[in-house]
Amino acid sequence: MAQVTLKGNPVQVNGQLPQAGSKAPAFSLVAGNLSDVTLASFAGKRKVLNIFPSVDTPTCATSVRKFNAQANEVANTVVLCISADLPFAQARFCGAEGLENVQNLSTLRGAEFIENYGVAIADGPLKGLTARAVVVLDENDNVLHSELVKEIAEEPNYDAALAVLK
């Protein structure tokens, strides 16, 4: 179990984030059309998993915007924005913002993802949502970088996440 904070208050996070050098756990999440999408759906591509509680919070929205802006600069890479938001809300946000370089995935039917990626917030007001984290995978689903953001209200280290892909 890891500990992060939410506005300075301790929050427990169940599990352990996959670490650099390990193989990423398989997953199945929900796409915008309500279909199930697996890690294997992105075979042969490098993947940035931008994991966060909800696109309806300012920091989460900023992370989606920033990864969207930087996604075009990295070859053979897909940015997967993963949250508990329903696919409808994710699509509405990206449509309103004009964001086209990220793919939203919902944990709607993804309890296994939350557990296997060690991002389940176990207590506090965000219990049941995912902690803020970034996991970067190569074409073969090997973990190149991972960061569990220590303060949920802060942004991830974009430079460190993208540096392993350049």
Distances (CA, A) of 86 to 71, 72, 119, 160: 23, 25, 18, 29
Q: What number of CA atoms fall less than 13 Å from residue 70's CA on the CB side?
A: 19
35 phi, psi to nearest 5 deg = -80, 160
Q: Does 94 qualify as catalytic in the annotation?
A: no
- Torsion angle (degrees, nearest 10) of CA 26, 103, 132, 159: 100
Out of 48, 60, 133, 134, the active site residue is 60
- What are the residue numbers of the active site? 60
